[in-house]
Amino acid sequence: MHRAEPSYLTEGSTLASWLTTHDHKRIAILYAVAITFFFFLGGIAAALIRLELATPHGDLMSADTYNKTFTFHGVVMVWFFLIPSIPNTLGNFLLPLMIGARDVAFPRLNLFSWYLYLLGGLFTVTCLLLGGVDTGWTFYTPFSTLFSNTHVVLAVVGVFIVGFSSILTGLNFIVTIHTLRTKGMTWFRLPLFVWSMYGVSLVMMLATPVLAMTLSLLAIERLTGVGIFDPSLGGDPLLFQHFFWFYSHPAVYIMVLPSMGVVSELITASVRRKIFGYRFMVYSIIGIAVVGFLVWGHHMFVAGQSMYASIVFSILSFIIAVPSAIKVFNWTATLYKGDITFGAPMIYALGFVGLFMLGGLTGLFLAATALDVNLTDTYFVVAHFHYIMVGGAVMAYLGGIHFWWPKITGRLYSEGWARFAAILMFLGFNLTFFPQFLAGAEGMPRRYYRYPDEYALLNVLSSAGAVLLAASYLLPVGYLLWSLRFGERAGPDPWGAKGLEWETASPPPPHNFERPPVVTDGPYAYVHP
């Protein structure tokens, strides 16, 4: 008879024991539940958008409702799903395990961050219930100060609060990595996922306060009429865009660095080889985190900034493609001659690499000023960032959830269903978003709720793809929940992977390790170099 070992899951099963827990593993699960909720909330808005755009005539909703729908979609997806998804779920769960620690440095602060996340979400959802906001997720002035007569302040306060959750998580991770590494875990023995958490935490801590400040100024101007962004009061609307993108371009790397960390882990484990060029992978994480702060002006080529500024931002945007390309080359080199096992996590990882490459290359189109003048605010941009953020980040997130699922739950999921869902996701994604590159290149503007008949075919394809994509997101909810009860029990290391997290039980005991592990070797010590 197999008797389950005491684990973090069995220690206290009341709701109160979960809602007051200081265990990073339980907090990771709290986040996973909340984040999944917001993902499907944002997904419902996405479905409505695609339904509206399935026909050219704007016959489902009014223009005003459409504006509120895509704003809600953007706000929820960016702030309540993409930014917290990997750091707060997988990061919280894995970071202490991977460095051989018992918990994060500040466990109570960790729980507090989760409550802040919920509080921010509450504001945003309330805002929706009261009628929504129509400014777009970027809250551009002067829309958000002069014209919009909706609940801008409420939405902005929600984002402001969730920003603090992000800052505190970043702080917690940085202190954890600096102070709680186990004996022998030197900086260059850290798994790449830990490095990616380090990079992302730096960005969270340094960039998010700028967002908080910007949103406060916006709220102050709306509430008191002090001129900050409004020219008629002596303010400058372009200032808002500078502030906003100074945070929000780095924020796209809050979404993509963790994905890169996850994918590095999935690829080495699936080919059972050391990652190619470990040190370059580390330097490129830091490179992306730093250069990410220098490119924000590529969102403003047509906003009226000086030509010279645009030239500099264009060149810097090309430069940031270099560390990203290094990563793609090194993943490819790791796969080369590798003995690849195509489990579901590997399919997700390969999907990430393909979609990220297409998203990144089209980013170079947009970084070229002469092309961007034509493509800006068309569906080409929509396709570009969805390839990176939805194609890339969501694939990596789900790949990671699958890979570490046995560790988190102690159970194996159905491999057949998981592979089917991953492949369906890849196909559905491309059918949804590839036509948008074409529509955008032909001039279809973004954020319009009706369009000329000649774009109808591409939009119908896109809406059909969205149906497949939605199905592929719902499937994992089904078979993963099923596995909780009926899945086969996983041993400590079902994939034969390397890393401290695989050396402890699945699911891990409350304090992670029976005794603190000692590290004597670099990461990914597989037999094949």
421 is an interface residue for ligand HEM by CB under 6 A: no
469 is an interface residue for ligand HEM by CB under 6 A: no
398 is an interface residue for ligand HEM by CB under 6 A: no
- CA 376: distance to chain centroid? 23
Distance CA 103, CA 445 (A): 48
As given in the structure block, the two tokens for residue 304 are 């009226």
Nearest residue (CB) to Cu ion, 107 versus 136: 136
Distance CA 133, CA 222 (A): 14
Amino acid at 51: L
Nearest residue (CB) to Cu ion, 114 versus 356: 356
Closest-CB residue for ligand HEM? 363
Nearest approach, Cβ of residue 127 and Cu ion (Å): 26
Residues 73-92 that bind Cu ion (CB under 5 A): none
394 is an interface residue for ligand HEM by CB under 6 A: no
196 is an interface residue for ligand HEM by CB under 6 A: no
364 is an interface residue for ligand HEM by CB under 6 A: yes
Nearest approach, Cβ of residue 139 and ligand HEM (Å): 11
Nearest approach, Cβ of residue 245 and ligand HEM (Å): 8
396 is an interface residue for ligand HEM by CB under 6 A: no
441 is an interface residue for ligand HEM by CB under 6 A: no
42 is an interface residue for ligand HEM by CB under 6 A: no
Alpha helices in 225-337 (DSSP H): 237-271, 278-291, 307-335
Region near ligand HEM per CB under 6 A, out of 105-113, 359-367, 419-427, 429-437: 359-367
402 is an interface residue for Cu ion by CB under 5 A: no
DSSP 266-294: HHHHHHTBPPTTHHHHHHHHHHHHHHGGG
324 binds, among ligand HEM, Cu ion, none (CB under 5 to 8 A by kind): ligand HEM
Nearest approach, Cβ of residue 321 and Cu ion (Å): 12
296 is an interface residue for ligand HEM by CB under 6 A: no
335 is an interface residue for ligand HEM by CB under 6 A: no
Nearest residue (CB) to ligand HEM, 170 versus 440: 440
- In the structure, how many helices (H) and strands (E) does the chain have? 17, 0
189 is an interface residue for Cu ion by CB under 5 A: no
Site string for Cu ion, 192-231 (x = CB under 5 A): ----------------------------------------
- Neighbouring CB atoms inside 10 A of 525's CB total 12
70 binds, among ligand HEM, Cu ion, none (CB under 5 to 8 A by kind): none
Closest CA to 432 of 459, 405, 472: 459
Distance CA 209, CA 219 (A): 15
| CB 383, CB 436: distance < 8 Å | yes
Distance CA 430, CA 446 (A): 18
372 binds, among ligand HEM, Cu ion, none (CB under 5 to 8 A by kind): ligand HEM
CA distances from 350 to 35, 331, 335, 342 (A): 24, 10, 10, 10
Burial class (CB in 10 A: 0-12, 13-18, 19+), 106: middle
Give, in degrees to the nearest 5, the angle at Cα 391 between 385 and 397: 120
Nearest residue (CB) to ligand HEM, 61 versus 357: 357
384 is an interface residue for Cu ion by CB under 5 A: no
DSSP 131-142: T---STTTT-TT
As given in the structure block, the two tokens for residue 134 are 């129509």
Q: How many CA atoms lie within 13 A of 60 on its CB side?
A: 16
As given in the structure block, the two tokens for residue 493 are 């290391």
Among 48, 159, 190, 389, which residue interacts with ligand HEM (rule: CB under 6 A)? 389
440 is an interface residue for ligand HEM by CB under 6 A: no
Give, in degrees to the nearest 5, the angle at Cα 444 between 441 and 449: 155
Nearest approach, Cβ of residue 211 and ligand HEM (Å): 14
Region near ligand HEM per CB under 6 A, out of 36-44, 235-243, 366-374, 457-465: 366-374
Residues 248-277 that bind ligand HEM (CB under 6 A): 252, 255-256
| CB 191, CB 499: distance < 8 Å | yes
Nearest approach, Cβ of residue 300 and Cu ion (Å): 10
70 is an interface residue for ligand HEM by CB under 6 A: no
Distance CA 292, CA 289 (A): 5
- The torsion angles phi and psi of 405, rounded to 5 degrees, stand at -55, -45
Residue 148 DSSP code? -
Nearest residue (CB) to ligand HEM, 110 versus 314: 314
376 is an interface residue for ligand HEM by CB under 6 A: yes
Return all residues near 132 (Cβ < 8 A) that are at least 6 apart: 68, 69, 71, 72, 150, 151
Burial class (CB in 10 A: 0-12, 13-18, 19+), 62: exposed
Distance CA 95, CA 191 (A): 10
Nearest residue (CB) to Cu ion, 386 versus 498: 386
Element (DSSP H or E) covering residue 474: helix 456-486
Nearest residue (CB) to Cu ion, 249 versus 386: 249
Nearest approach, Cβ of residue 388 and Cu ion (Å): 10
Q: How many CA atoms lie within 13 A of 447 on its CB side?
A: 15
Among 249, 327, 386, 498, which residue interacts with Cu ion (rule: CB under 5 A)? 249
Nearest residue (CB) to ligand HEM, 194 versus 389: 389
Residues 121-150 that bind ligand HEM (CB under 6 A): 138
Where does this chain bind Cu ion (CB under 5 A)?
A: 249
Where does this chain bind ligand HEM (CB under 6 A)?
A: 138, 252, 255-256, 298-299, 317, 320-321, 324, 360, 363-364, 366-367, 372, 375-376, 381, 384-385, 388-389
